[in-house]
Amino acid sequence: MANIPSPRPDVAKAPPLIVRRRREIRAVLLGTVAAFALAGMNVGGLSQARAATSEVSQLVSPVSFADVVDHVRGAVVSVKVKTTETADSEEEFDMPHIAPGDPLERFFKHFGEEGSHHLKPHVTQAQGSGFIISADGYVVTNNHVVENATDVSVTLDDGKTVPAKIVGTDKKTDLALLKITQGGPYQNVDFAKATPRVGEWVIAVGNPFGLGGTVTAGIVSARGRDIGAGPYDDFLQIDAPVNRGNSGGPTFNTQGQVVGVNTAIFSPSGGSVGIGFAIPADTAQSVIASLKDKGVVARGWIGVQIQPVTAEIADSLGLKSNKGALVAEAQPNSPASSAGIKSGDVILGIDGDRIDGPRDLARRVAALGPGKKADLIYWHDGSEKTTSVKLGSLPDDKEARATPSTSQDKNELSSLGLTLAPASSVQGAGSHGVVVSDMDPDGVGAQKGLQVGDVILEAGGRAVNQPADIKAALAEAKKDNRKAVLLRVQGAEGTHFVAIAVTPAS
C-alpha cells in the first residue's frame, strides 16, 4: 500500500480552498489504491484506477493563464514616441584646427565639417507599453515613456497603429495618460479594487525589446517597496519577468484586473533578473483620475520638513516607538505652523490612523488633496496631542543653501571630530547657530552624516550660537545619564535632526 504522508503542520494555516484541494487529492489517491486492491487487478479495476489517476492529474495540473490572456491582451498596446534632440554646446567636442590644404580637410568637408563641428537637431524614437482603460481610447503608460515626446502613436494587439495625444503626465509617480484620437470603441480593462497579497499570481503583458504582446507570469514578491524613484514610492515587487519596453504595461491578477503599472526593474545587466516594480492600482487610479480631469495632479501639503525617527531620537524624546515622522522644520505661514506644529515634534498619525514613517505621511497627505481638513496626532514636549490642519497645495520644491567660508574664530570638538565656528562669523551662514567648518572624516560627526558647511541650530532643544553651547549640552546630557543629544542641523538638503550618542556619567 502506498505511503501517504500526513499533512504538514502549516496546512491548517492555508486558505480553505487549498486545504480542500489537498483533501480531494488525498481522497482520490486513496481511492486509486483501494481500486487496485479490491479489483484484484482485473480489467474493471484497472479502468477504475485509470479514471482515478486521470482525476488526480487534473487536480494537480499546472495553472493555465490562457483564458485570462485571451480576455485582456486586446487592451494592451505598444506606445511609440518621437522626440527631437539638439546637442548642447557643452556636448560638442572640440575639433582640431586644420590648415588649408591639409589632407584631412577633404575628409572633414566630406562629412559637413568645415573647420568646426555643428550638430543638427535629430529625431529619436523610443517605445514602451500601455493599456486601454476606456472604450473611447484612454491609455495609461509611464511618464518616462512619453517625456519630451513630439509625436505619440499606439499599436494595437491586431497590429494597427493609431495616433494619440498626451492628456497629462505626473513625474512624481511616473504616470501618464494618453488619448487615442481615432474613434473607438476599443477593448479595455479595469483596475483591481483589492491590493494583491504577497505570493499571489500575477501576469505581465507588454512590449519588451519591441516584441509586442509578450506575456510573462510570476507572483507578488513584496509590497510597499521604496526604491528611491520618487517621493511617493510604494511599489509592488513582482518576479514576473519584465524587461526594457515593458515600462507602462499592466500587471494583471488572475481575474484579468490591473493590479499594477510596470515601471522599473532591478538589473545589473539590463535584462530581467526576476525583480520588477509596479505602481499599485490604487495609486494609479487616483493619479489617472486627476490627469483626466485637470491634466495635472494636485496634492495636499502641510509644509513640514520631516525625517525618520531613529531609535536614538526616540529615546532622546521619550518615545516608546521609532514610528512616526520627526518635524525638522515647519515652514513659516504653512498649514502645519498655523496648526501649532513646531520643529522637534513627531507626527504619529493622521485622521486616526498611525503612520509608519515620513513617506507614509507624505503619501497620505498628498492623497487627501488641497483644501481638505485633517487631524494630526503628534508628540510634543513629552506628551501626545491632536490638532486640526487645513491642507494647502504642494508648491514647487525649493532648496536653500549656505556657502561657508574660513574663519579665525574656530573651536575644536574632538569628541565628535568637528571644528566649529559661530555662524555669525562665517559669510553666508546666517546670524544664528554654529557652523561645521572642518571635520575628521572618521569621526563621530561624519559617521552621523554631518558635513562641512552644516549649521547646528539647536542642541538638546536649546538654541546654540557658540561652540561652547554645544559642549555644554553634551556635558549636561552626560551628567543626566542620557544616551544621546539631539542636534537640529541646517544642511544643503534642508533642516534635519541628528542624534549624537554621549557616554553616561559613571
The three cell numbers of residue 22 are: 489537498
Query: Which residue in the block uniquely carries the three cell numbers 514636549?
Result: 381
Tell me: do 356 and 329 sit in the same domain. Answer: yes
Q: Is residue 98 in a domain? A: no
CATH classification of the domain holding 371: 2.30.42.10
Tell me: do 333 and 381 sit in the same domain. Answer: yes
Instruction: Name the residue range of residue 355's domain.
Output: 300-393
The three cell numbers of residue 242 are: 519584465
Tell me: do 197 and 279 sit in the same domain. Answer: yes
What is residue 126's DSSP assignment? E
Spell out the alpha helix ranges (H) of 356-437.
Answer: 358-368
CA distance 273 to 451: 37
Tell me: do 431 and 346 sit in the same domain. Answer: no
CA distance 129 to 249: 5
pTM higher than 0.75? no
Tell me: do 381 and 483 sit in the same domain. Answer: no
Q: Which of 170, 174, 233, 345 is catalytic?
A: 174
The three cell numbers of residue 396 are: 514647487
Q: Which of 78, 153, 221, 247 is catalytic?
A: 247
User: What is the SS3 assignment for 84?
Assistant: strand
What is the number of domains present in the chain?
4
Q: Is residue 76 in a domain? A: yes
With both helix axes pointing from N to C terminus, report the angle between 16-39 and 43-60 in degrees, rounded to the nearest 10.
160
Q: Is residue 7 in a domain? A: no
User: What is the SS3 assignment for 401?
Assistant: coil
CA distance 467 to 458: 11
Determine contact, residues 324/364, Cβ cutoff 8 Å. Answer: no
Q: Is residue 433 in a domain? A: yes
Question: Quick check: is 247 catalytic?
Answer: yes
User: Dihedral (C-alpha) 318, 323, 329, 332: value to the nearest 10 degrees?
Assistant: -110
Tell me: do 293 and 417 sit in the same domain. Answer: no
Q: Is residue 9 in a domain? A: no
- 297, 318, 334 - which closes a domain: 297
Nearest to 237 by CA among 208, 269, 207, 197: 197
Burial of 322 (0-12, 13-18, 19+ CB in 10 A): middle
Residue 266 CA, chain-centre distance (Å), reads: 13
- 362, 393, 424 - which closes a domain: 393
- 241, 276, 297 - which closes a domain: 297
Residue 416 CA, chain-centre distance (Å), reads: 34
Determine contact, residues 451/440, Cβ cutoff 8 Å. Answer: no
Tell me: do 256 and 349 sit in the same domain. Answer: no
Q: Is residue 101 in a domain? A: no
Question: Quick check: is 144 catalytic?
Answer: yes
Determine contact, residues 391/302, Cβ cutoff 8 Å. Answer: yes
CA distance 52 to 45: 11
Q: Is residue 220 in a domain? A: yes
Tell me: do 356 and 460 sit in the same domain. Answer: no
Question: Quick check: is 153 catalytic?
Answer: no
Q: Is residue 365 in a domain? A: yes
Tell me: do 174 and 279 sit in the same domain. Answer: yes
Tell me: do 265 and 118 sit in the same domain. Answer: yes
**What is the residue-level pLDDT of the chain in tens, covering all 506 positions?**
333 333 333 333 444 444 455 555 555 555 554 544 544 445 455 555 555 555 544 544 457 899 999 999 999 999 999 987 655 544 444 455 555 655 555 555 555 544 444 556 677 888 999 999 999 999 999 999 999 899 999 999 999 999 999 999 999 899 999 999 998 899 999 999 999 999 999 999 999 988 888 999 999 999 988 877 777 778 999 999 999 899 999 999 999 999 999 998 887 777 788 899 999 999 999 999 999 998 888 889 999 988 889 888 888 888 988 999 999 888 888 999 999 999 899 999 999 999 998 888 988 898 888 899 999 999 998 899 999 999 998 775 433 333 333 333 345 576 788 888 887 777 667 778 888 887 787 788 888 888 888 889 888 888 888 888 888 888 887 777 777 888 888 887 778 888 888 764 43
Tell me: do 230 and 318 sit in the same domain. Answer: no
Tell me: do 206 and 217 sit in the same domain. Answer: yes
Residues sharing a CB contact under 8 Å with residue 340, sequence separation 6 or more, in sequence order = 387
